[in-house]
Amino acid sequence: MSGQLKGRLDAVISNIDKVEKAEVEASTSRLQEIANDVRGSPVNWQSYLGGQMMNRDQFDVICQLDFNTSTREKRDALINADPYKCAKTLVCLIGNLSKDQTVRYLLTLLDDLLQEDKSRVEIFKLYAKKHNVSVSDSFLKMLTRADGYIVHQSNRIVTKLACWSNDRMMGKDLTFFLTWLRDSMKEHNNEYQQTVCRCLQMLLRVDEYRHAFVGIDGISTIISVLVGKIGFQIQYQLTFCLWCITFNPSLAEKMNKYNVIPILADILSESVKEKVTRIILATFRNMLEKPQSKTVIQDHSLSMVQCKVLKQLQLQDGRKYEDSDLQDDVEFLTEKLQASIQDLSSFDEYSTEVKSGRLEWSPVHKSEKFWRENAMRLNDLNYELLKMLIKYLDTSKDPLILSVAAHDIGEYVRHYPRGKHVIEQLGGKQLVMQHLVHDDPNVRYEALLAVQKLMVHNWEYLGRQLESTKQTGTEITAK
């Protein structure tokens, strides 16, 4: 990572507190609303002491840590004097007290203690080492509680322990936690979705966590949420997560396998929020700068062109932005994308369109010259493009995509002598025939033409065989 790029990353996400505060100004999360109410309802610790639900040592410690009964100086003095005792008291009370209201207060108190001084995450290492458990163990167990606030405040604490500690979360704990975040992110009507996304924003600053998240199919999950009906705040936060991932060169190379460019391009074309635009363009820039493979960079560039990003950049270029990084990204992307299309062949254009999954009646589909010169190239890379066309016939619900895919398969068969055999082997013939009864008349028409081309191809082959047999017979007779 270059010094300039690393500086840009650090400036935005090294201090997640600043990012979070900026987002809160625009949209206060449900968790933060409840946290403010919880802080305003202090717990009567004396009643717990009198009821023998805590001992004198625990009472003294919690009273000195409680923001409502203590000062920053007293908290610092106690934690510095006996960090293990502080960690033990908090873990024990959170684990042993059953009343949700009290557990809510304790978790909010702990989160505030960590927010006040990030280095305090290290006191839990002392507790974990002495009890032979992981640092996050006590709080991961809280993710199964019924109370949503308790669950997601615990989520915040686990995230801070994982990000701010000198020791990284690893192994089963990491897999469990990232899987839980992934699944929580896609829950319908999850009122704590912003909190889940913020925790991911923090975690994906760390390269080890990026690899682990991608390993559990995290990118696909982000994309599945982005294509749904969500507000601009979640769009921003999830694109921020993708942006963090693209700072790793090997992961940046894989991004468009998840259809990242088309999805973000759609959001960009509809975005009215500058911060959403900014983070999408920053992600696109990384996808052109970070990969080490020139082929991947070219593929990303052409995909952006195919998805009309260049047109959006032209619109953006006419606006005035106070953010110099945004303006710089607009200029960088415009230059790179314009350069990528200068030597663009018709087959490059076609290949990019097919890979984007956004088939339309661009000129190459109807060009006799194109198919005559390029039909055989659909066999390249183990029939990669052909398999994509067949997949679209099987999975797409868009009549335009189905029509173009059926047309292209017909043209491939017409211009490549072994085309019929290849299509049959790949399962394409049956799919084309299924669309003969499609609801859309254009799909039915293109499917019918494709089937006719399959049959005509057969007749032409039979005709050549008969002609060859006839000529052979004549030669034998002459002898």
Looking at residue 475, its pLDDT comes to 47
Please report which confidence band the pLDDT of residue 28 belongs to, taking 50, 70 and 90 as the band edges.
Answer: low
Q: What would the mean pLDDT of 386-408 be, rounded to a whole number?
A: 96
26 pLDDT higher than 60: no
Query: Please, how many CA atoms are within 13 Å of residue 460, restricted to the half-sphere of its CB?
Result: 14
Distance CA 66, CA 41 (A): 12
CA 82 to chain centroid, in Å, comes to: 42
Q: What is the pLDDT of residue 17?
A: 44
> What is the rounded distance in angstroms from the CA atom of residue 206 to the CA atom of residue 187?
25
Would you say 113 and 65 are in contact if contact means Cβ atoms under 8 Å apart?
Answer: yes
The Cα–Cα gap between 139 and 153 comes to 9
Please classify residue 400 by burial: count the beta carbons closer than 10 Å to its beta carbon, then call 0-12 exposed, 13-18 middle and 19+ buried.
middle
Choose the weakest-confidence range: 41-50, 302-311, 422-431: 302-311
* Percentage above 90 pLDDT, the chain: 69
The rounded distance, in Å, linking the Cα atoms of 409 and 470 is 32
- pTM of the shown model: 0.77
What is the arithmetic mean of pLDDT over 209-224? 96
Q: C-alpha angle 35/41/44, rounded to 5°?
A: 130
Cα separation of 276 and 268, whole Å?
A: 8
pLDDT of 169 above 90: yes
Nearest-CA neighbor of 105 among 50, 72, 56, 65? 65
**Is residue 12 exposed (0-12), middle (13-18) or buried (19+ Cβ within 10 Å)?**
buried
Give pLDDT, residue 451. 92
Q: What is the pLDDT of residues 132-141, one digit of tens each?
A: 888 888 899 9
